[in-house]
């Protein structure tokens, strides 16, 4: 089953309509897939996957006394 939600303030890159973009999240083969679509025109695109942060990216700095 897909979940749909609108993205507040988002502007469609195709028709420039504001508040017409919705995010669709689907479970496909045990993996979540996300894509966006405009309800005003027929624009759609797959949302790029975000990289999982590694433990090294969480470290801001090391203190050595």
pLDDT of residue 50: 63
Would you state the pLDDT for residue 22? Answer: 92
- pLDDT score at 2: 84
SS3 48: coil
What's the pLDDT score for residue 53? 58
Q: Which two tokens stand for residue 10?
A: 């988002």
pLDDT profile of the chain (65 residues), mean per 10: 88 91 88 90 80 63 75
CB atoms closer than 10 angstroms to residue 14: 14
Whole-angstrom distance, CA of residue 33 vs CA of residue 53: 19
* Contact (CB, 8 A) for 2 and 25: yes
**Distance (Å, rounded) from C-alpha 55 to C-alpha 38?**
36
| Entry pTM | 0.62
């Amino acid at each position: 089953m897909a979940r749909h939600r609108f993205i507040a303030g988002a502007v469609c890159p195709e028709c420039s309509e504001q508040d017409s973009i919705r995010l669709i999240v689907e479970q496909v083969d045990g993996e979540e897939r996300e894509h966006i679509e405009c309800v005003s025109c027929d624009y759609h695109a797959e949302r790029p996957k975000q990289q999982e942060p590694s433990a090294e990216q969480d470290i801001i700095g090391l203190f050595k006394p």
